[in-house]
Each structure stands twice: as structure tokens, then as C-alpha cells.
Amino acid sequence: MPDDVFIAINGDALQAKSKVYIGRALARKSAGDLDEYQLWASLALELLGKAALARKHPSLVVDPIHWQSMFVAAGINVTTDVKTITAKTLFERLAHLVPRFDKTVQKFCQDIAERRNAELHSADLPFRTMRLDAWEARYWHACDTILHQMGSSLEQWLGAADAKAPRQLLDEAAKALAAAVKLRVEAAREQFEALKRAERERLTAEAELREPQHQMGIFKGSHDEIWSESCPACKCRAFLTGEQTGEDISEERDEHAIWEVVDREFCDTLTDFSEMSPDDRDGPED
């Protein structure tokens, strides 16, 4: 990947600009301007998608028939007039890059981009006719899908990971994450149910043979505990790891007991074997 790529198609710069735009979107929502909220949100989504492509390679976001832009993508800055791909092409390419960016997510992204174009380039007012509950949850799901591929998260993108973030932003981030996770589970359930019965039964049987102590190597980052759980999407055996965040002596204990009960709090992560690739499901070697 070229190091001297022009800022217009630099992945980090595109992501930074998308964060500015989603900040403006939430500010308009707070002010009660839901039309402009959706407008800024649609712009932030397109920039975020281009950031994901540009991080793979800048050539993925430039117009392939504009040779000057192709040169810039290769690190040869022959022009400042860089031509980028359309929203339609962007979302088509993301479907090949991001595993969870399925046809449903792609169609939603295309629809919001088309409403944005109609809002900006015609006398139509498509955003005014869209209820908030008709698009917002799916929007957060789409953003979460792209951010996951980039190794980021909604909290980081929205700025809620900052300890000094205002309460209103933290609340918005919590709502966005809840909506995204709900739709992520629904999408995983549909994907699992679309498999042939024999494949579903095989995956379920394989998952049941797994034991927590043998799964430590498949989780990224640090964790203090691992335990089994039922996947909310496919009901297969899955595993949670947790990093301990707190510990208290439980008040619910027998005063004559010679032991004490300790309540431990964890921040957890779920891994579901039915969604993993065959290589990942093999787990670490003993």
C-alpha cells in the first residue's frame, strides 16, 4: 500500500471525517431536526464505508476509469481532483470485503444513499417521510458491521469510549449498540436457519463437544474467565470470556458458614462456533 496517498482517499482521514459527520448527525437529532440527522448520518455511513475500502487499498475507492485518480491511489500525486466511486459501487464492494455485509445490509445502505441524493439534488423530501424507527436501528447495524471489519466499534466511532464523553453521547452509543446487536443476532439466526438440516445438526454436535478450558486461544485480548453459554442466534453451545471489572462479598450467606460468597463482575465477549470458519473452529493445537 502506498505511504504517500493523497488525504482525499486516505483511510484514516476518511474515518476521521466520518466521525465528524456522525457527531453532527447526533447533534441534529438532539436538536429535534430528524431530517438533517438522517442527512448527516447517510454521509457518515458512506465515508465510513470508503474508509474500510481505503484501508485495504486506496485504489478500491477511486474511479477506475479516471487514470489520474488511479495514479494518486498508487502514491503518485498527479492531481488534487481525485474521483471516487459512487455509493452503489461502494456498497457492492463492501459486500465482498465485509463478511457480515449481506444483501439486506447492502440494500439498506443503497436505499439511504438514494434518499440522500434525492434530498440534495431534487425538490423531493424523502427524509421527512421516514420515521426514525424505520431506519435508525438498521443504520447502526450497518455501521457496526463495517466497524467490526475495521477492528473498531460503535463506542469508539461515536466517541463514547472516552471517559470524558458527555452522558447524552454515552446514552446514544448504548442505544446504538443495543440496536446493532439485536439485528446482528437476527442476521446470524437467519444465516444459520438457511443452512441444510444436516449441516445445522453437524455444527450443533461439534459445538457440544467443546469444553471451555480448550477454547482460550481463540479469543483476542486478555480475559480472566471463560464459560459456556447458549448462542442467542442458533442456540448452539458457545463460549464467553470475561475480564473481571469488580468483586464484592455477597450479602446472601449463612452466618454460620465457614466460607464466603464472592460476586465477581465481568465485561464479556461471546464466541459462537456455528458462525466461525472451519479453520477457526479447529481451535488451538494441544
Q: What is the pTM of this model?
A: 0.74
pLDDT of residue 54: 95
Domains in the chain: boundaries:
7-188, 209-281
Strands 262-272 and 225-230: unpaired
Nearest in space to 34 (alpha carbons), one of 132, 103, 119? 132
The CA-atom distances, in angstroms, between 97 and each of 94, 168, 172, 173, 275 are: 5, 33, 28, 25, 17
The C-alpha atoms of residue 221 and residue 58 are separated, in whole angstroms, by 29
pLDDT of residue 37: 94
Asked if 115 and 109 touch (Cβ cutoff 8 Å), the reply is no
The CA-atom distances, in angstroms, between 80 and each of 7, 76, 206, 285 are: 9, 11, 55, 51
The CA-atom distances, in angstroms, between 164 and each of 3, 99, 155, 156 are: 33, 33, 13, 13
pLDDT, one tens digit for every residue, the chain (286 residues): 555 678 889 999 999 999 999 999 999 999 999 999 999 999 999 999 999 999 999 999 999 999 999 999 988 888 889 999 999 999 999 999 998 899 999 999 999 999 999 999 999 989 988 899 899 999 999 999 999 999 999 999 998 877 676 777 778 778 877 877 887 788 888 888 888 888 888 988 888 878 777 776 666 666 667 777 888 888 888 877 776 666 676 666 666 666 666 676 766 554 544 444 444 443 333 2
Residue 204 amino acid letter: T
The C-alpha atoms of residue 22 and residue 162 are separated, in whole angstroms, by 16
Asked if 105 and 61 touch (Cβ cutoff 8 Å), the reply is no
Asked if 106 and 145 touch (Cβ cutoff 8 Å), the reply is no
Element holding 60 (H helix, E strand): none
